[in-house]
Amino acid sequence: MKFAVITDIHGNMDALSEVLRDIDRRGDIDYIYNLGDVIGIGHNTNEVLGMITSRNDITSIAGNHDKAIMSVINNTPYPEDLKDKFYEHHHWVAEHLNPQYYEFLNTLPREFTLDLLGQSVLGIHYEIENAKLEDTIDQIPFSPIVEPSAEHMKTLFADKDADVILFGHNHTLHHFINEDTVYFNPGSVGLNRAPYTVYGIVTITPEQSNIEQVRVAYDNTRFIDGFEVKEVPGRALIFDKFIQ
């Protein structure tokens, strides 16, 4: 069983197009798992959602930006930890979001589990304690980000039981093995500080899991220029923290 892992697309249509093209070109990838933050920060909201929802080989889960934007749409409490960073930006995304995607975003689960050839796999945007899995986004269910290390991953995901734990959220490659558990974050599809995009390939056999990060070059000019052309709110913070 060989599948791709994508995460943190963040409204970047050009990066996602290149990733999907590379996956399809390989011809031996059975499925794609999308670990959340499909929208927010980037400005190609509907284009990205159209690409994800038009395929029948992608399973998606929710990220914090997905849920925060939908809290604006649904007029439910907005998370306090994002108010000083993304409040205006998320309202802008919500104003431009096609209503045809409301149901898709509102029904995204928080996690998925798989049993593949005797290997258990968990996918989650980032650690949420089991007792908080049903918490709304304003209750800030996601755990604080920790520095990448095998020991930190073991502590962070201490309440999770799986042979392979797949996650995203902090846009940084993680590939650690601690005792019998593999922890893998392929990095962000949409937000990198250079003209490339990344995703992961996981191969499961009865004996083990093999994991690799794939880096693909692409022209990010249109994505970068679009922030000024569309006058995206919060673009100064976005460029400082995520792009340049």
Question: d(Cα 192, Cα 189) in Å, to the nearest integer?
Answer: 8
CA 142 from centre of chain: 13
Q: Which amino acid is at 240?
A: D
Please state, as a whole number, how many other Cβ atoms lie within 10 Å of the Cβ of residue 170: 16
**Structure pTM?**
0.97
Question: d(Cα 101, Cα 104) in Å, to the nearest integer?
Answer: 5
Q: Which segments within 110-169 are labelled E, that is strand? A: 111-116, 119-124, 164-166
Report the pLDDT value the prediction gives residue 180, as an integer from 0 to 100.
Answer: 86
How do residues 147-203 score in pLDDT, each as one tens digit?
999 999 999 999 999 999 999 999 999 999 988 899 999 999 999 999 999 999 999
Helix (H) or strand (E) holding 175: strand 174-178
**Phi and psi, residue 176, nearest 5°:** -130, 150
Model confidence at 244: pLDDT above 90: no
Helix 221-229 to helix 13-26 angle (10° resolution) is 160
Q: Delineate the domains of the chain, giving CATH numbers in brackets.
A: 2-243 (3.60.21.10)
How do residues 4-48 score in pLDDT, each as one tens digit?
999 999 999 999 999 999 999 999 999 999 999 999 999 999 999
Six token digits for residue 189: 């599809």
